[in-house]
Structure 1
Amino acid sequence: MRPDHAPFVDPLDDPPWAMQLVVRAEKADPPNHGAVCEAAAAAVVRLLTDPRAAEPGGEWHDAVREWESRRIRKVTRRARGVRWPEAEALPGVTVGHAGAQVRAFPPCPVQDVPPELAKLQVAGLDLADADEPGPPPAPPYAAIALNPDVTITTGKAAAQCGHAAQLLLRKGRRKHVAEWVESGAAVHLVRDVPWRSCVKQSTVAVRDGGFTEVPPGTMTAVAWLVRK
């Protein structure tokens, strides 16, 4: 038997793996909250559907499979100045959207995060939203809504939107997901629809693991595909 004093080790988190997301956040011209969330979600999908991740034998394929067999974690970091080109020099996928730039990196054990990323700040990324969010893109696109009753930072929200987009990619109807991905995997953060209505029409829901900011099991985000 396990001694009473020995800590419980969850086999799904031994060792923990995470996908790193890096947001470019320059002091002089920071992006807005919604644009970062949308760019982060799109970056996650584009990395997961990149041939390097999606095709057997691809250089990221085994890492993605290992990560998805565990508890899905994403860590959002911020970079500015010279730190951004240092991050962009590492393998990954960058999405630029509405003034925001987010780069997703192949998942790895948290202790093996490249030093260029490990030194980037995790906590404290909290950005203002746009005064007037832009209209939704032309369908098909992923609609993502964040729970308005849960207070989280921009960094946490970006990770939750990435989770929602990943669940939609994996659990949505195959034909509809293929149409969305083939058209560019556009994402729209829904703000003008009541949360209850969003939950009712959603295909997937994110319930947080409780590692940061919110209690475990909190429903933080939902997502669904909007088609023509």
Structure 2
Amino acid sequence: MTPPAEPTAEALRPVAARYAAWWGMSEQEVLVDRDEAAHDIRALQLVLRLERDATVSRHRALELAAAGAALLCLDERSEPGGEWFEPVRQYCVAHIRKVTRRARGAQWEATAALPGLTLSDQGAEDAGCVTEVRVLLPGPASELDKRVSKLQVGGTDLPWDPPPARSGNEPVLRLWVPEQPPMTAGKQMAQTGHAGMIEAALMAADDDATLADWAAAGCPSAVTSATPAEWATLSAALDDPAAAWRTERLLGVRDAGFTEIPAGTVTVIARAPR
């Protein structure tokens, strides 16, 4: 399935409405806001294929997570009347939690039968390097399919590799991640997944033409590990998130602090295609 020619992103409307409020919360407010009853928790599962002795690109894994999370929400099945609309809508109404897991062999093959999207990226310059990410339809964490719940969350770290070359002829979501605090690749995949979803939600509200072009191109993104100086400049621009989006097409992601890093930490800064 491909995104509709002009995706409405109807299911993503709650994400756009909530964005500025979430960005403006204090650390303590984030801690209070994130609290949910166990039966209310919904999550999107990202599955990274990690075969024994395989060469996997960290850059591509982060980029595929961003693309996959956006594409799933923009898929025609996630449009009103589609079979995925209600699960995606219910997920977006609450917190857009994401969990990265790893799989290989039979475990990877087993998850192929679950509803979602599989993205694969192999650069011409990377002989033998294939990066694959599966983005599964979000649902209640308490009802997680056993084929997914058995997959390990840990062990998803990858070394940084050279960023892949870009053609320059397609609309690209620029993603910057900080050098500090350090995060595993799995953690950062969840964060870039958030960025892809938020970007799609915000663009649907005021630039549906560019959103349609980006979706038609496969929601490509490019990840950069920002230097401290670059990160400080980008962060300063987000002091007023509404203005940053309106004038620079910049958005940010703040983490709820469940794993690895403190609540309220800014994990990704992104610039939407223009």
Tell me the TM-score normalised to structure 1 length: 0.88
Gaps of 5+ in 2: 1-32, 123-129, 238-247
Shift of residue 137 of structure 1?
4.2
Cα separation, partners in 2 of 1:176 and 1:9, compared to 1, 3 Å: closer
Alignment of structure 1 residues 1-228 onto 2, 5 Å = 10=35, 14-53=39-78, 55-98=79-122, 99-130=130-161, 132-138=162-168, 139-172=170-203, 173-191=207-225, 194-199=230-235, 200=237, 201=248, 203-227=250-274
Post-superposition CA distance 1:12-35 (Å, at most 9, x none): 875210000100011221312111
2-structure distance, mates of 1:14, 1:208: 21
How many pairs align?
A: 218
Cα separation, partners in 2 of 1:183 and 1:223, compared to 1, 3 Å: same
More helix by share: 2
Shift of residue 196 of structure 1?
3.0
Amino acid at match of 1:149: Q
Tell me the SS of whatever aligns to 1:124: coil
Amino acid at match of 1:205: G
2-structure distance, mates of 1:11, 1:134: 39
Post-superposition CA distance 1:187-217 (Å, at most 9, x none): 1112367223444355210000111111110
Gaps of 5+ in 1: 1-7
- Contact 2:173-2:219 within 8 A present in 1 as well: yes
Tell me the TM-score normalised to structure 2 length: 0.74
> Which deviates further from its counterpart, 11-20 or 158-167?
11-20
- Contact 1:18-1:67 within 8 A present in 2 as well: yes
1-structure distance, mates of 2:232, 2:50: 32
Shift of residue 133 of structure 1?
1.7
> Which deviates further from its counterpart, 29-38 or 110-119?
29-38
Shift of residue 60 of structure 1?
1.1
> Which deviates further from its counterpart, 104-113 or 136-145?
136-145
- Kindly report the root-mean-square deviation, in angstroms, between the aligned alpha carbons of the 2 structures: 2.0
Shift of residue 184 of structure 1?
2.0
Amino acid at match of 2:150: K
Cα separation, partners in 2 of 1:142 and 1:73, compared to 1, 3 Å: same
2-structure distance, mates of 1:197, 1:71: 28
